[in-house]
């Protein structure tokens, strides 16, 4: 019995139909959310659910920004890569934005 390389296994999991972007976007968003949870471990179950849902939703909704920025063609594999990137970095970017916005209120007013 021959074992297929990991690259071929993953390639078979991604749909090749150019019109089927929803499955690739959803899979990419879930993978990106998982990676963001692994990179920065949550404190409790509530934090896990909030971060996973925020990351997955932002990856699914805003994946087109990374796709356009990179100049990639609209194929399922590129959609998946774009949503993984956005979902993976969304929680970190949200934390930076909140710290910046939170710091604005602490600036001395004239």
Tokens in use for 29? 């968003």
In a domain, 43, yes or no: yes
In a domain, 19, yes or no: no
In a domain, 17, yes or no: no
What's the rounded Cα separation, in Å, for the pair 110 and 103? Answer: 16
**Ordered per-residue pLDDT tens for the chain, 110 residues:** 565 566 665 566 555 555 568 888 899 999 999 998 898 888 899 989 988 999 999 999 999 999 999 999 988 889 999 999 999 999 888 888 888 887 666 656 55
Domain count, the chain: 1
In a domain, 30, yes or no: yes
Class of residue 42 by CB neighbours under 10 A (exposed 0-12, middle 13-18, buried 19+): middle
Q: Which residues of 67-94 are buried (b: 16+ CB within 10 A; e: fewer)?
A: beeeeeeeebbbbbbbbbbbbbbbbeee
> Residue 16, Cβ neighbours under 10 Å: how many?
10
In a domain, 8, yes or no: no
In a domain, 72, yes or no: yes
In a domain, 40, yes or no: yes
Domain ranges, residue 62: 25-102
What's the rounded Cα separation, in Å, for the pair 88 and 109? Answer: 36
């Amino acid at each position: 019995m021959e074992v297929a390389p990991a690259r071929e296994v993953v390639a078979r999991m991604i749909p090749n139909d150019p019109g089927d972007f929803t499955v690739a976007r959803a899979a990419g968003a879930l993978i990106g959310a998982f990676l963001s949870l692994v990179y920065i471990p949550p404190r409790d179950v509530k934090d896990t659910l909030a971060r996973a849902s925020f990351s997955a939703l932002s990856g699914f909704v805003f994946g087109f920004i990374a796709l356009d920025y990179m100049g990639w063609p609209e194929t399922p594999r590129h959609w998946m890569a774009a949503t993984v990137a956005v979902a993976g970095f969304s929680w970190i970017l949200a934390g930076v934005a909140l710290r910046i916005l939170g710091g604005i209120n602490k600036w001395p007013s004239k």
